[in-house]
Amino acid sequence: MHLGFLDRWPAVVVEGSQRALVIADLHFGIESDLAAHGVHIPSQSRARLERVKECIRAAEADLLVLLGDVKHQVPGTSRQEFREIPHIFQELREMVDLRVAPGNHDGGIGRFLKDGELLPVRGALIDGIGYLHGHTYPAPDLPGHPLVIGHHHPMVSLRDEVGCALRTAALLLAPASTPCLRQGDGGEAPATKVLVMPAFNELSGIDLLELRARNLGPLSRCMDFDAAEVYLTDGTYLGTAGSLRPE
């Protein structure tokens, strides 16, 4: 799996027969949910979409793969999402071929997509790479191939010598048990490498130390978080997740 990083943006470019820009967890419509809980901010969808479009241009991408939770409301679809998402998808497909791996927040999202744009919920292979959201077991033919997922929203806290902390998006490259991913069928197959993407939504993130303790689905149970390599969005390598735990 040949990766390219986009400096400050939580996105990667996967090189194959085409240049695939991969983005996870946009959560368009999150502002409506926040308003329902008493936090009122204007919709950030336009600014978020413009950042995606900037990434497409910077990557010179042929294909955009959205790894689920494109929308936020669950269950159902909010008025904000009905109003905004058709235009968002149309602007994206005017720039690049589009594929969406549906996430646990994406019920009914197929109504906004054209034929061939919606991937199976358990993922699909594109150029030998498996893409899925990450809240389900992968399709049986995916383990053994490199996998790229979202769903986990990883972030890391960096502290300087006086204790000031910066919380920033991070990517994890974790080994996962292939027999576990195949639900017990796989014998002694080599580990499957899983790239865990950070959330593109600027309001979403789970600290790496908290993420290790949370069970976010089957892939969480199959991955070795301590052995996961941790990268910043510009490609800076921080070490393994286990080495970043406080003493």
Cα angle vertex 233, ends 227, 122, to 5°? Answer: 65
| Six token digits for residue 33 | 């949910």
- Average of per-residue pLDDT across 173-179: 95
Token pair 């679809």 in the structure block, residue: 77
What digits encode the pLDDT tens for the residues 50-72? 999 999 999 999 999 999 999 99
Give the dihedral sign, CA 179/180/181/182.
Answer: positive
What digits encode the pLDDT tens for the residues 71-114? 999 999 999 999 999 999 999 999 999 999 999 999 999 999 99
Domains and CATH numbers, the chain: 2-244 (3.60.21)
**pLDDT value at residue 230:** 96
Phi-psi category of residue 186: left, alpha or beta, with phi > 0 → left and psi -120 to 50 → alpha: left
Full-model pTM: 0.94
